[in-house]
Amino acid sequence: MKTGGFSRPYKGLSICGDSFVIEERDGTVLAAVVDGLGHGYESSVAAERASEVIRELADQSVDAILRRCHQELRVTRGAAVGLLKVDAAGEGEFCGIGNIEVQALNGHAPSVFCLAGIVGHNMRSSKVMRVTMKPGDIYCLMSDGVSTRGNLKSCLPGPPETVARRIVEHWGQDHDDATALIIGFGEAELLADQPGRPWAARPNEARAK
């Protein structure tokens, strides 16, 4: 699998209230996007604590990780959290609370969504959803600071970190922190360096504000 992410803060701030986690254990990848409530320092505290918990419990199920985040974030503002775990065969699970979205940039589209709520405050329930990634599938997990109106597929091809940065820089909204995390299964040729296919923003697609 190929993975990479990028976060940037609310315009004018140096502290980001978003974070992302990528952990690989024995061929299984855990990818997570965290969006601390609001922005600024208090938001970053919530996001960082959630990220610490996710790294510490990366071997556990996405539901167990999310529930532990809920316990640990009670003393913070809380956060939206989306967790995707995929094994070497492409089988996995997703669990999330809040405004984290998963879109397919290539291949099979995932039928997953986050439940309403705030991790650390009013997470009433969680739901684990099965995911099957096929060779060539590319998913993007993103915080709500990235406009869903954007044509994210236009940010391909390129290495995962580069694609994530393009998505945030081209489709990130200035009035919020923004994060994109890319995970590609199999060869995922669109996530390789392709000198013969240089990327360029499409001129008819206005940047999100």
Please state the domain extents for the chain.
2-191
Cα dihedral value 156, 160, 163, 167, nearest 10: 120
Where is average pLDDT lowest: 76-80, 134-138, 149-153?
Answer: 149-153
Please report, rounded to a whole number, the percentage of residues in the chain having pLDDT higher than 90: 85
Nearest CA-CA partner of 32 in 17, 44, 22: 22
* pLDDT greater than 60 at residue 200: no
Architecture of the domain delimited by 2-191:
4-Layer Sandwich (3.60)
Please report, rounded to a whole number, the percentage of residues in the chain having pLDDT higher than 70: 92
* pLDDT greater than 80 at residue 208: no
Q: Sorting pLDDT into bands at 50, 70 and 90, what band is 188? A: confident
Average pLDDT over residues 153-176: 95
pLDDT score for 199: 54
**CA–CA gap between residue 81 and residue 176 (Å, rounded):** 16
Mean pLDDT for the chain overall: 92
Q: Sorting pLDDT into bands at 50, 70 and 90, what band is 197? A: low
Average pLDDT over residues 39-68: 97
pTM: 0.92
pLDDT score for 167: 97
